[in-house]
Amino acid sequence: MRLNQRLADDFDQVARSSGLSRAEVFRRAIALYKIVKQEEVQQSYVILRSRDGAEREHVNF
């Protein structure tokens, strides 16, 4: 898979900061994307909640 430089840099930064391999970061990203898309099909909401309770809804994932 070819990535543009910006995406490759972001990808490497996530792998380094999480202590995961690039393959594991990719696997997890695909797993998360699959779950989000399944929820969208069911017209569910995808919400991120911070520790302080603030919520953000994400659309057009």
Q: What is the pLDDT of residues 1-53, one digit of tens each?
A: 888 999 999 999 999 999 999 999 999 999 999 998 898 888 888 888 999 99
| Residue 54 pLDDT | 92
**Whole-angstrom distance, CA of residue 44 vs CA of residue 12:** 31
Single pTM value for the model: 0.75
Q: What pLDDT is stored for residue 34 in this prediction?
A: 93
In whole angstroms, give the CA distance from residue 10 to residue 2: 14
